[in-house]
Amino acid sequence: MSNKMQREAALSQRLEGLVTLPIHHIDINDLDDADKSVCVIIRLLSFAEREAMALGLEDTRATLRDASESFLTELISMHPQSAKKLLERAAASIGN
């Protein structure tokens, strides 16, 4: 199996379950826990999107971008008061 095929297989395994992100499982009342969950999801999506781009998988990259946007939109719509704090904390933690 070529290196590209191995990377594609690894990416595919990482993507399982990421497209349907479990926002309802994030305990928004515990900001530290929610912060960790949001950071992990954003990091996974960012890594997977970069890997898809490096492998030339434009459809996968587009799906990941849509998933990221959907996740952030849903987070903001479900928890408008806490979302700003969570996203600021996530950005600081990730270094963006």
Domain of 38, in residue numbers: 30-96
Give mean pLDDT, residues 79-90: 80
- 42 domain residue, yes or no: yes
Q: How many domains does the chain have?
A: 1
- 44 domain residue, yes or no: yes
HSE-up (13 A, CA, CB side) for residue 72:
16
Residue in 17, 19, 22, 18 with CA at minimum distance from that of residue 75: 22
pLDDT of residue 21: 54
- How crowded is residue 86: how many other Cβ atoms within 10 Å of its Cβ? 20
Rounded (10°) CA dihedral 82, 84, 89, 95:
160
pTM of the full structure: 0.67
Q: Tell me the pLDDT tens digit for each residue of 21-30.
A: 566 667 666 7
pLDDT band at residue 64, thresholds of 50, 70 and 90?
confident
CB 86 within 8 A of CB 35: yes
Mean per-residue pLDDT over the chain, rounded: 78
- 5 domain residue, yes or no: no
